[in-house]
Structure 1
Amino acid sequence: MSMTRAFALDGLLRLRRLEQDEAAGSLAAANAGRHESAAREAAARAGLGESLATPDTLDALHGIAAARASARSMVAELGAVTLERQRRAEEAQQEYSAARRNTLSLEKLAARHAETVAGEELHAEQIVLDELAGTAWQRQAEGTQR
């Protein structure tokens, strides 16, 4: 004979958990993009520093200078992409943290509700047991008086 009452905010709690899961996925994607961009930038910087070519002619020197300028431009662009992805990752972290706080507060309410319901059920069971014990004691007392 269970009197279990449903948690009134259970639907909202499920929604908050879904939002938290979505925010966690966005955070993971943002972090992956940030790491990928940073790795590409690091590789480009390393490649830029490894150029050991010595030009034989003026045209070769111009070619090397143009290639290095292009590589520096690419590194700068990758740096900008890395910064943008870092900003997105920070935003995603803030969104995840907010979603987690929202979920956590409802989870605490749900836990308190469950404790209250369990306490009420135990109290109701104790009343039934006390009544049964009282009835049994009364029957036993009536049986010894006869």
Structure 2
Amino acid sequence: MARQFPLAGLLRLRQLREEEAAGSLAAANERLRSSRTRAEVLNDALDGTDISPAGSASLYAVAAARASARSMMADLHALEAHLQGEQHRAQDQYRAARAATMGLEKLEDRHRDTEAAALIGAEQRVLDELASVSSARRGAEERP
């Protein structure tokens, strides 16, 4: 019977951490994608407006609207920069978790290979023993 991998508990813990980091990375990617979409929608909406003020009151209103839009765009760009930083941190955490898991997975593979080789070797020894006992019996039966 093959022995269980001695570091199986640690490997499972690292796999859970990797899955958690992958989830965090996916969430950060989605937040960044959502922020970029909002900025693109706002930018497209602003590009689509063609306002020609007729009087001074409309000119002031257009100037105020443009200043507000610029402020909103600056806020969205700042948010995007912040979210991009979060996404980079999440990606680094995922890479670190994956690297830690991969090392243990390689050890588990080696352990499995070693156990399989040991099992095959034990089976071969049993077969060799059976063959030698059978050969000895045949030799004893052939002698009168």
- In structure 1, the partner of 2:28 is 30
Name the TM-score, length of structure 2 as normaliser: 0.97
1:117 and 2:134 are equivalent in the alignment: no
1:17 to 12, 15, 18: 15
Q: Give the fraction of aligned pairs with identical amino acids, expressed as a percent.
A: 45
The CA RMSD measured in Å over matched residues stands at 0.8
C-alpha separation in 2, matches of 1:49 and 1:127: 81
1:96-138 CA-to-partner distances (Å, cap 9, x unmatched) read: 0011101111100000000000000011111111111000000
**Cα drift, residue 51 of structure 1:** 2.4
Name the TM-score, length of structure 1 as normaliser: 0.96
1:60-71 to structure 2, matched below 5 A, reads 60-71=58-69
1:57 and 2:49 are equivalent in the alignment: no
- In structure 1, the partner of 2:131 is 133
In structure 2, list runs of 5 or more residues that go unmatched.
Answer: none
**Cα drift, residue 49 of structure 1:** 2.5
The alignment covers a number of residue pairs equal to 144
In structure 1, list runs of 5 or more residues that go unmatched.
Answer: none
